[in-house]
Amino acid sequence: MTEGIDRRIAEMLHHRNAGLTKGDPVALPMVTSTSYHLPDVQGAPFIYARNGTPTWAAVEAQLALLEAAEVVGFPSGMGAISAALMATLKAGDRVILPADGYYVTRVFAREFLAGLGVQVTEIATLDYAAADFAGAAVVYLETPSNPGLDLIDIADVAARAHAAGARVIADNTTMTPLLQRPLDLGADLVVAADTKAPGGHSDALFGHVAGRDAALMARVRDWRRLSGSVPGAMEAWLIHRGLETLEVRLSRMCASAAVIAARLAEHPAVQAIRFPGLANDPSHELARRQMADFGFLIGMTLKDATAAEAFLARADFMVRATSFGATHTSGERRARWGDAVPEGFLRLSIGVEPVEALWADMAAALG
Ligand SMILES: *Cc1c(COP(=O)(O)O)cnc(C)c1O
């Protein structure tokens, strides 16, 4: 990680410090009040909780330091994604989406945006490199793709999209602002599910939109206030707490993923492995240029569905769940959702367990 981001992480950990007066709580209080003392309306920082609350403001301040951008918080990743799309698209516009990206984003586009007169075009992640963006209003990308772990060159796509007159929205969920910086590479908006690694404990849904164009961010903020897509106080508070340990958790998760991916690649029971950190992975060169680390997700293909399910059942240190980015390692056979992957393909999300204990368990479960 660069010196710049290290400084911002330290500032994030101390963001409340400067404003404290004697006797104030050091930890963030969770404010559940829906209304705010308003003897008159001018100059009040908070008015009514659909517009903003002190707890959202605190987590948005943390994320703004990490993103080096304005941030608006949402009640989920999809809350943030739908807000970014509603703020940038209108009838007659065309949006380009990854055909192999997060499934729910595509369903939202097909089921709701198309009905409002937006043309929805899906292209494969690997086809972004040669795609013609002429006539698009929004080029939406997600890199690495999930679960395939193919990469998109953000700077290249942003330059070509801008030349075609399109805006660029990047889903940065799998990387977080600590590992990948789409805004620095030219994206107009970042969207992310903080439900994953930033929260990190599988107990809160949250999302955010980040951007450096004040007018565009004002529109995103208006969408939140007018649609009522607002985070809960408890969730905002939990994400604030999670963000404080994000960097230490990610360091462990990425380091362990690198160790485990290299060993899985050598294991006779493993037919194929995708991890951008492996020197022979098709994503490796671009990952080295674009990402600060290679992440904590591994795509592993075993012989068939039976072998994959048996591995998950035998492993003691493997949660069988559909999310990722948490403290505990988890694994899922993605074909059960209809992803275009082999029947024996597992997405593994490496957690913070001591790596040798985790590997011993995985090796035993592979048999
Ligand atoms: C989980 C996820 C989302 C949606 O986040 P929610 O908080 O579940 O709404 C969006 N994009 C990606 C890449 C995700 O993994």
pLDDT for 118 equals 98
CA of 36 to the centre of ligand 1 (A): 32
As a residue count, the chain comes to 367
Q: Is the full-model pTM beyond 0.85?
A: yes
Mapping DSSP onto H, E and C, the string for 149-199 reads CCCCCHHHHHHHHHHCCCEEEEECCCCHHHHCCCCCCCCCEEEEECCCCCC
The CA distance from 339 to 345, in Å, is 10
pLDDT at 2: 55
Which one of 76, 78, 97 would you pick to mutate in the ligand 1 pocket, going by the greatest count of ligand atoms within 8 A of its CB? Answer: 78
> What ligand 1 atom has the least distance to the C-alpha of 206?
7
- Find the 297 Cα to ligand 1 centroid distance in Å: 14
pLDDT of residue 1: 45
- Domain borders along the chain are 3-243, 246-366
Mean pLDDT per block of 10 residues along the chain (367 residues) reads 82 94 97 96 93 98 98 98 98 97 96 98 97 98 94 98 98 98 98 98 98 98 98 98 98 98 98 98 98 98 97 97 95 89 96 98 96
Topology of the domain covering 246-366: Aspartate Aminotransferase, domain 1 (3.90.1150)
146 lines ligand 1 (CB under 6 A): yes
Euclidean distance between CA atoms 226 and 212, whole angstroms: 22
Number of Cα atoms under 13 Å in the Cβ half of residue 146: 24
Angstrom distance (rounded) from CA 54 to CA 40: 19
pLDDT number for residue 338: 83
Its CATH class, for the domain covering 3-243, is: alpha beta
